Chain A
Amino acid sequence: MKQLNYYSEVTVVKTFSDMVYRLAFSHTRNKSDADDIYQEVFLIYLRKKPQFKTEEHRKAWLIRVTINSCKKMWALPWRKKIVPLNETIVFETEEETNLHYELQKLPMKYRTVIQLFYYEDLSIEEISKALKQKPSTVRTQLTRARYKLKEILKEDYYV
């Protein structure tokens, strides 16, 4: 097991800011919601000041809290009835903008595994540990997500 150096809280915020924000955005596909979740995750972190044996554990904890925060936000009854503001990020190319909008069609439960697998480069076992789900569940979600993506993207890309 790796023995880790002391990580100051500022360092943790700086190190994991992009990861937490991107994960929140991948789930919500909405800047305003991602802003809220980003703040919530780090405020929980600062309030709890959890201790970890390894940096992998710290990362997994932050992933899990981010996903839980996303899920809880979408589970609210009033949330399902509102029309979200079309507040998003301006991407450099039309292709990326289109991809962003197409990803909104992907069921939420699949957006997380896609983000963790394709962007954070986590293995299925690492995703299963971070999300505290069985590897078989993650594997099934990833397979179904790829299938859905192929449908949504109409085979524009090789998934």
Chain B
Amino acid sequence: MFEEKYRSMNEQIFPDQKLVDKIIYSVNKSESGTMKRTKIFPNPIIIFTMLIVSAITITPVLAANVPAIYELMYFVSPTATQFFMPVQKSHEDNGIKMEVVSSYVHDNIVEVYITMQDLIGERIDETTDLNDSYSINRPFDSSATCQLIYYEESTRTATFLISITEWGNRNIIGDKITFSAREFISSKHEYNEIPIGISSANINSSPSTKQVSTVGGSGVKYEKHFTKYDNSAEVLVPTPPMDFPIKGIDLTGIGYVNDMLHIQTSVVNNLTKDNHGYFFLRDKNGNQIEYDYSVGFAENFDKDNRIDYNEFVFDIPQSEIKQYSFYGTFVTSGLFTEGNWQVTFPLEEIK
């Protein structure tokens, strides 16, 4: 069997103890404060002190052109702000302007502030998510991350901090970096542990079911119900959407199958939304009961009107369901925006 051999081969792969010790040594250095690290949100007293000091000592280079972003940079990393090199290269598409504001090269790390501003609407907000569509091209061996760190409501501008760590101890000053993004999701809404008003009278005791090929599943007892190579599941036949408090997610079925409670939701065209969530139950004492397993399946798989379904299955006998209340946690997004934003800029140092 392939799996057996593959597993046996993998058991012989592990890092050298010296390598592990080296990392653990880094942990100890980090904990004792000798390892260099950036504190994202420093002590407010330090921020206040640094703001005053910075206001007095700021260099003429930055003082000549101080947009709101620098105030943020002081907040994030006050001591480093004076070393940030203004870049201010931008690209506009679909009414969205992407601008590389500044970059800072120190040791083997490059930090870049990028803003995205909606010039014509309100598509950029504090929940803007680049939806894994961004890429950072650079001509050196490195790893990189990009995170939303700030949103300025008055200008509808989101600020992202890109951190790039170079691996090979080479001088990267003068190299060019290209940051690009193709799409983003925004207007996200989180529903955290909200009550779902499902009456036990609405639970179908003999619903229609069908067999489907699942696209995955989860849950504490998923393995009990499915073998590793089993992707077939009995699910509720979707019904027209019922009353449900989450906009963007439809409740398309609830009923008992083989004495297990099935609750089904669906999302139309979810590739542009990433709406998701889960249900749980609470008994009269407030104890939380998680679903045994969930399965996902899809209809119109490769078409524009694709529908993704999730079915959550609880092991609660029908005779006892009245003793439980339904709750759910969900995340939905309201806007999907596409474009082609790309900015190339050189890495420079402030002399």
**Known interface pairs A96-B12, A134-B271. Does A13 touch B6 (Cβ–Cβ under 8 Å)?**
no
Q: Is A73 an interface residue (CB 8 A)?
A: yes
Which B residues touch A118, using CB under 8 A? 2-3, 6-7
CA A33 to CA B215, docked complex, whole Å: 33
Q: Can you name 18 extra interface pairs (CB under 8 A) apart from A14-B20, A39-B19, A72-B141?
A: A9-B31, A17-B20, A18-B13, A36-B167, A38-B23, A42-B23, A43-B23, A46-B23, A46-B27, A47-B37, A65-B143, A69-B143, A73-B141, A76-B139, A79-B141, A91-B9, A96-B5, A125-B218
User: Do most interface residues of chain B lie in helix, strand or loop, or is the interface mixed?
Assistant: mixed
Minimum CB–CB distance from A34 to chain B (whole Å) comes to: 8
Q: Number of contact residues on B: which range applies?
A: 35 or more
Complex partner residue of B216 from A46, A75, A114, A139, CB under 8 angstroms? A139
Q: Is A40 an interface residue (CB 8 A)?
A: yes
**Contact between chains at A136 and B143 (CB < 8 Å):** no
Which A residues touch B167, using CB under 8 A? 36, 40
Q: Is B22 an interface residue (CB 8 A)?
A: yes
**Contact between chains at B13 and A89 (CB < 8 Å):** yes
Q: Is B321 an interface residue (CB 8 A)?
A: no
**Contact between chains at A46 and B26 (CB < 8 Å):** yes
Total interface residues on A, using CB and 8 Å?
61
Q: List residues of B whose CB falls within 8 A of some A CB.
A: 1-3, 5-10, 12-16, 19-20, 22-24, 26-28, 30-31, 35, 37-38, 132, 137, 139-145, 165, 167, 215-218, 222, 228, 271, 296, 298, 301, 329
Chain A 29-67, CB within 8 Å of chain B: the 1/0 string?
Answer: 000001110111011101110000000000000000100
Q: List residues of A whose CB falls within 8 A of some B CB.
A: 1, 9-10, 13-14, 17-18, 21-22, 25-26, 34-36, 38-40, 42-44, 46-48, 65, 68-69, 72-73, 75-79, 89, 91-92, 95-96, 99-100, 114-115, 118-119, 121, 123-126, 128, 132, 134-136, 138-139, 149, 153, 157-159
**Contact between chains at A10 and B27 (CB < 8 Å):** yes
Which 10 residue pairs across A and B have the least CB separation, nearest first? Answer: A125-B216, A157-B2, A124-B216, A135-B215, A96-B9, A21-B15, A135-B216, A159-B2, A9-B27, A42-B23
**Known interface pairs A13-B23, A40-B165, A40-B167. Does A123 touch B12 (Cβ–Cβ under 8 Å)?**
no
Which B residues touch A139, using CB under 8 A? 215-216
**Contact between chains at B27 and A136 (CB < 8 Å):** no
Which A residues touch B22, using CB under 8 A? 39
CA A119 to CA B4, docked complex, whole Å: 9
A-B contact pairs, 19 of them (CB 8 A): A10-B24, A13-B23, A13-B27, A14-B20, A35-B15, A36-B167, A44-B143, A89-B12, A96-B5, A99-B5, A114-B6, A118-B7, A123-B222, A124-B215, A124-B217, A125-B218, A139-B215, A157-B2, A158-B2
